[in-house]
Amino acid sequence: MSTETPSYLYWVGGGLGAVTLSAVSATVMWFAEKKIPSVKTIGRDLILGAILFFLLLQLLPESTMSLVTSILAVATAQNEIVGSFYGNPTPGNPISAIVEDMELRLGVPNF
């Protein structure tokens, strides 16, 4: 874990990977096999999704964290747009500050 990346981004990324894999698996099971996914299957896919995210994080650390911060920035922007539409805008978010402070790194990655 690097010192410049907040630790909660790792857990958010693992959660996003888990939910994504289980949602895709449940959708495929529902439409292709015409079966309702069981709790055991969804739990297994949640665990596998988190494991796959952390394996991908070991192979492509900068790209994976860039993807997670981009997803969170889009969610934050969407939240601010909806909040301003309903008259209660949310204050600035630290995620947008992380995305703005990203820099281009050239050369060999630091492992």
**In whole angstroms, what is the distance from residue 75 CA to residue 79 CA?**
6
Stretches where the chain sits below pLDDT 50 are none
**In whole angstroms, what is the distance from residue 74 CA to residue 96 CA?**
9
Q: What is the pLDDT of residue 30?
A: 93
Q: Say if CB 35 and CB 67 are below 8 A apart.
A: no
Length of the chain: 111
CA atoms within 13 A on the CB side of 32: 6
Q: What is the pLDDT of residue 51?
A: 96
Q: What is the pLDDT of residue 87?
A: 58
Contacts of 3 (CB under 8 A, 6+ apart): none
Which tokens hold the place of 81?
Answer: 């747009």
Q: What is the pLDDT of residue 43?
A: 95
Contacts of 93 (CB under 8 A, 6+ apart): 76, 80
Residue with tokens 């889009």: 74
Q: Is the pTM of this model over 0.85?
A: no
Contacts of 90 (CB under 8 A, 6+ apart): 79, 80, 83
Q: What is the pLDDT of residue 32?
A: 93
